[in-house]
Amino acid sequence: MGFFNSFVWGLALLICLLPMLNNFNGREGVVAFHKINLKYQTNNLVQVKQIYRTGYHFQPKKNWINDPNAPMYYKGFYHLFYQYNPKGAEWGNIVWAHSVSKDLINWIPLEPAIVPSKPFDKYGCWSGSATILPGNKPVIIYTGIVNKKPKPGHQVQNYAIPANYSDPYLRKWIKPDNNPIIKPTHENVSSFRDPTTAWFNNGQWKLIIGSKNNNRGIAYMYKSRDFINWTKAKHPLHTKPNVGMWECPDFFPVSSQGSNGLDTSALGKDIRYVFKASLDITRFDYYTIGNYNVAKDKYVPYNTSVDGWAGLRYDYGNFYASKTFFDPIKKRRILMGWANESSTKSEDKAKGWAGIHLIPRKIWLDSSGHNLLQWPVNELDSLRGQKVELSNVKLNKGDTIEVKGITVVQADVDVTFTFSSLDKAELYDPKWAKIFSPENLAQSICGIKGATVQGGLGPFGLLTLASSKLEEYTPVFFRIFKITNNKHKVLFCSDATPSSLNQNEYKPSFASFVEVDLAEKKLSLRSLIDHSVVESFAEGGKAVISSRVYPTLAIAQNAHLHVFNNGSEVVTIERLNAWSMKTAHVN
Ligand code: DQQ
């Protein structure tokens, strides 16, 4: 079909992409959080454009939203706080907005819980976490800004406690006057933020705070016996040169046996640790898996984890400043993340909002021990409505099949592909490793090849949010490369380049390699499509890519969904289940 044979079009695309290939990190598309532009700081609801608003993702009624804060379970409700600008669609005037939920999908909005009001948080209430103290007593520790200078602000750590423990909504929070409880003791008073949930061992509470020194990322550790008096540990829990500021660190245990989550203070022999940092420079969330020496309070990543920009990411797309928490009811660890915008600041102002949160994901250790697995919480399935199914459908080279009968602009699609041979996989070009840096590699290859350049085994996958003549579409797909006759590399790609005719948007070719055993000759993909977000899980959550897209034609009922194969090897849709998703009650 025309779409695939359009060599000229592919060439044009490649020429357009070349300047971007070494600029993978999306800085132009991702808004720096500390710049305030006064003209974006007023908003009224009338201005809010509904067209790109999500139907089942978390967002407030209007305005700017960024990091999830202090997620926790308390007396029958999941609590989510988040960084929120009550006055506009750009970062600024940050308060802790607050919503509660019975199922992590439908959310009830409450009054903001923590707002700047005291000398210790006068210029901002920035990110932080909750710890549940013995006796089921939640306490929040958050970053307060005490001075606008030095930029982005002088940072301290404060605590807040519920005014009424018998209120399951935890509507009111008290910020006691003995705040701040942790002050920076080093020169970097403007890089000292985002305290984690604390964990308890050897008679002390411990937490970490994100920081940097020159270009070295640092997770400072603090210890306390009473949660009020904190002492800086001799050594940081972890530190790494040449990575830049570590924002929103997270540190938690995972079990090497099964998928249940662990309380943050859990200790034991079948436990590994995850350290995550949100890297301010690249704007991705990176993690390593490693060993935590409790006696020395030191974390050391295993040599199977790359510790740096080329390391594993929770999500290879629009995803930042995430946080996990342990759900004591369903015994799982849940990851909440912010999907930043691909639209421009002036478009955000025009639409009256910016930022969403992704679907909360259960997170656990893969049996290989090398990476985490992530999967949307199963409560999401309650929104599934009308269903269509395909099974055992062959896709020859150039075939596309339209999936009809559901609202594809708000859908959940789960598909498994099989193939009978790896022989036709295209050769992996060793020169790529020389011309692209390791952290850019997957995305750069996806940028060159996309979904349109014909391959051997793949590209195959979904064309989501497609307009009727494919002027716009967001392809999510696999391409398999041959390194040697029995060694292959699976590229997973969510390419925003063709997603919109609007040239102003941020449209990267987000991608990752996925470690898969291809013996079964099978690959699976699930995409959650929701108007301006496509959140995709490869191989049961081994790699995840969320992409914020703003089509101009593929909107509402004009959006289409296709399954495609553009490789010479025949690929079979072993099974495809797709559902219309009902609209959740979100705020
Ligand atoms: N967002 C907060 C900071 C954090 C940053 C400010 C990460 O605490 O470092 O809104 O997005």
Condensed to tens digits (0 to 9), the pLDDT of residues 239-252 reads: 999 999 999 999 99
3-class DSSP assignment, residue 182: strand
CA-nearest residue for atom 9, ligand 1, is: 247
| Ligand 1 binding pocket includes 66 (Cβ within 6 Å) | yes
Residue 587 lies in a domain: no
Same domain, 262 and 391: no
The structure tokens listed for 290 are 């490693």
Same domain, 298 and 365: yes
**Sign of torsion, CA 227 230 235 240?**
positive
Tell me the best of 248, 286, 341 to mutate to test the pocket of ligand 1, counting ligand atoms within 8 Å of each CB and taking the most: 248
DSSP H helical ranges for 84-217: none
In this structure, what DSSP letter does residue 509 have?
E
Ligand 1 centroid distance, CA of 567 (Å): 43
Angle (nearest 5°) at CA 175 between 172 and 181 = 145
pLDDT tens readout for residues 219-236: 999 999 999 999 999 999
Ligand 1 centroid distance, CA of 128 (Å): 9
Nearest atom in ligand 1 to 245's CA: 9
476 pLDDT higher than 60: yes
4 pLDDT higher than 90: no
Tell me the best of 66, 151, 336 to mutate to test the pocket of ligand 1, counting ligand atoms within 8 Å of each CB and taking the most: 66
pLDDT tens readout for residues 85-144: 999 999 999 999 999 999 999 999 999 999 999 999 999 999 999 999 999 999 999 999
| Ligand 1 binding pocket includes 248 (Cβ within 6 Å) | yes
Same domain, 483 and 540: yes
Q: What is the pLDDT of residue 248?
A: 98
At residue 474 the predicted structure's pLDDT band, cuts being 50, 70 and 90, is very high
Rounded Cα–Cα distance for residues 41 and 64 (Å): 10
Ligand 1 centroid distance, CA of 126 (Å): 6
Instruction: Give the number of residues written for the chain.
Output: 587
| Ligand 1 binding pocket includes 536 (Cβ within 6 Å) | no
Give the domain-ending residue among 338, 373, 408.
373
Q: What is the CATH number of the domain that holds 491?
A: 2.60.120.560
Same domain, 255 and 307: yes
Residue 272 lies in a domain: yes
What residue numbers bound the domain in which 413 lies? 385-581
Ligand 1 centroid distance, CA of 258 (Å): 33
pLDDT tens readout for residues 163-179: 999 999 999 999 999 99
Q: What is the pLDDT of residue 272?
A: 97
Ligand 1 centroid distance, CA of 127 (Å): 6
Rounded Cα–Cα distance for residues 104 and 132 (Å): 19
pLDDT tens readout for residues 403-458: 999 999 999 999 999 999 999 999 999 999 999 999 999 999 999 999 999 999 99
Same domain, 452 and 327: no
In this structure, what DSSP letter does residue 582 have?
P
The structure tokens listed for 310 are 């080329």
Rounded Cα–Cα distance for residues 302 and 289 (Å): 6
Residue 88 lies in a domain: yes
Nearest atom in ligand 1 to 126's CA: 8
Same domain, 161 and 279: yes
**Sole residue written with tokens 């006064």:** 38
Residue 434 lies in a domain: yes
CA-nearest residue for atom 7, ligand 1, is: 321
Strand partners, 580: 411
Give the domain-ending residue among 320, 353, 373.
373
Residue 434's Cβ-count burial label (10 Å; 0-12, 13-18, 19+) is exposed
The structure tokens listed for 206 are 């411990």
**Sole residue written with tokens 């050594």:** 235
Rounded Cα–Cα distance for residues 434 and 447 (Å): 16
Rounded Cα–Cα distance for residues 344 and 580 (Å): 29
Ligand 1 centroid distance, CA of 239 (Å): 19
- The CA dihedral of 446, 449, 453, 459, to the nearest 10 degrees, is -30
CB 275, CB 298: distance < 8 Å: no
DSSP H helical ranges for 404-453: 431-435, 441-449
Nearest atom in ligand 1 to 127's CA: 8
| Ligand 1 binding pocket includes 349 (Cβ within 6 Å) | no
CB 333, CB 254: distance < 8 Å: yes
Of the candidates 571, 582, 564, 344, the residue with the CA atom closest to the CA atom of residue 464: 564
Ligand 1 centroid distance, CA of 141 (Å): 14
At residue 49 the predicted structure's pLDDT band, cuts being 50, 70 and 90, is low
**Sole residue written with tokens 């300047």:** 19
Tell me the best of 193, 246, 318 to mutate to test the pocket of ligand 1, counting ligand atoms within 8 Å of each CB and taking the most: 193
Helices (H) and strands (E) in the chain, counts: 5, 38
3-class DSSP assignment, residue 437: coil
48 pLDDT higher than 60: no
pLDDT tens readout for residues 315-374: 999 999 999 999 999 999 999 999 999 999 999 999 999 999 999 999 999 999 999 999
Same domain, 277 and 417: no
The structure tokens listed for 66 are 């960024």
Q: What is the pLDDT of residue 18?
A: 36
Nearest atom in ligand 1 to 280's CA: 7
Of the candidates 191, 68, 84, 45, the residue with the CA atom closest to the CA atom of residue 140: 68
Half-sphere exposure for 131 (CA within 13 Å, toward CB): 24
pLDDT tens readout for residues 145-169: 999 999 999 999 999 999 999 999 9
Peptide bond into 176 cis (omega under 30): no
Residues with active-site annotation:
67
Tell me the best of 194, 250, 278 to mutate to test the pocket of ligand 1, counting ligand atoms within 8 Å of each CB and taking the most: 194
| Ligand 1 binding pocket includes 285 (Cβ within 6 Å) | no
3-class DSSP assignment, residue 14: helix
Same domain, 271 and 363: yes
| Ligand 1 binding pocket includes 193 (Cβ within 6 Å) | yes
Ligand 1 centroid distance, CA of 394 (Å): 48
Q: For the chain, how many structural domains are there in total?
A: 2
Strands (E), 340-498: 353-354, 356-357, 361-365, 372-376, 384-395, 400-402, 410-419, 426-427, 457-466, 474-484, 487-495
Listed in sequence order, the residues at least 6 apart from 495 whose beta carbon sits closer than 8 Å to its beta carbon are: 446, 447, 450, 451, 474, 475, 476, 477, 509, 510, 511
Nearest atom in ligand 1 to 248's CA: 9
The percentage of the chain sitting over the pLDDT mark of 70, rounded to a whole number, equals 91
Rounded Cα–Cα distance for residues 91 and 245 (Å): 19
33 pLDDT higher than 90: no
The structure tokens listed for 74 are 């308390």
Residue 380 lies in a domain: no
Same domain, 181 and 271: yes
| Ligand 1 binding pocket includes 417 (Cβ within 6 Å) | no
Residue 29 lies in a domain: yes
Ligand 1 centroid distance, CA of 159 (Å): 17
**Sole residue written with tokens 């990190």:** 25
- For β-strands 560-565 and 457-466, DSSP reports them as antiparallel
Q: What is the mean pLDDT of residues 292-309?
A: 95
**Sole residue written with tokens 């496509």:** 534
Instruction: Look up the pTM and report it.
Output: 0.92
Q: What is the DSSP string of 317-333?
A: SS-EEEEEEEETTTTEE
Same domain, 210 and 305: yes
Backbone angles phi, psi at 541, to 5 degrees: 95, 20
Same domain, 346 and 248: yes
Residue 201 lies in a domain: yes
| Ligand 1 binding pocket includes 428 (Cβ within 6 Å) | no
Ligand 1 centroid distance, CA of 553 (Å): 34
| Ligand 1 binding pocket includes 90 (Cβ within 6 Å) | no
Q: What is the mean pLDDT of residues 501-519?
A: 96
435: how many CB neighbours lie within 10 A of its CB? Answer: 12
The structure tokens listed for 323 are 């946080």
23 pLDDT higher than 80: no
Residue 536's Cβ-count burial label (10 Å; 0-12, 13-18, 19+) is buried
- For helices 441-449 and 7-17, what crossing angle results, to 10°? 150
Of the candidates 150, 209, 219, 138, the residue with the CA atom closest to the CA atom of residue 180: 209
Residue 21 lies in a domain: yes
Strand partners, 362: 334, 375
The structure tokens listed for 556 are 């509402």
Q: What is the pLDDT of residue 84?
A: 98
3-class DSSP assignment, residue 142: strand
Backbone angles phi, psi at 487, to 5 degrees: -130, 125
| Ligand 1 binding pocket includes 67 (Cβ within 6 Å) | yes
Give the domain-ending residue among 315, 338, 373.
373
CA-nearest residue for atom 6, ligand 1, is: 126
| Ligand 1 binding pocket includes 319 (Cβ within 6 Å) | no
Ligand 1 centroid distance, CA of 308 (Å): 20
3-class DSSP assignment, residue 74: strand
Rounded Cα–Cα distance for residues 165 and 172 (Å): 10
Q: What is the CATH number of the domain that holds 230?
A: 2.115.10.20
Same domain, 354 and 395: no
| Ligand 1 binding pocket includes 94 (Cβ within 6 Å) | yes
Tell me the best of 63, 83, 340 to mutate to test the pocket of ligand 1, counting ligand atoms within 8 Å of each CB and taking the most: 83
| Ligand 1 binding pocket includes 280 (Cβ within 6 Å) | no
Mean pLDDT value across the chain: 92
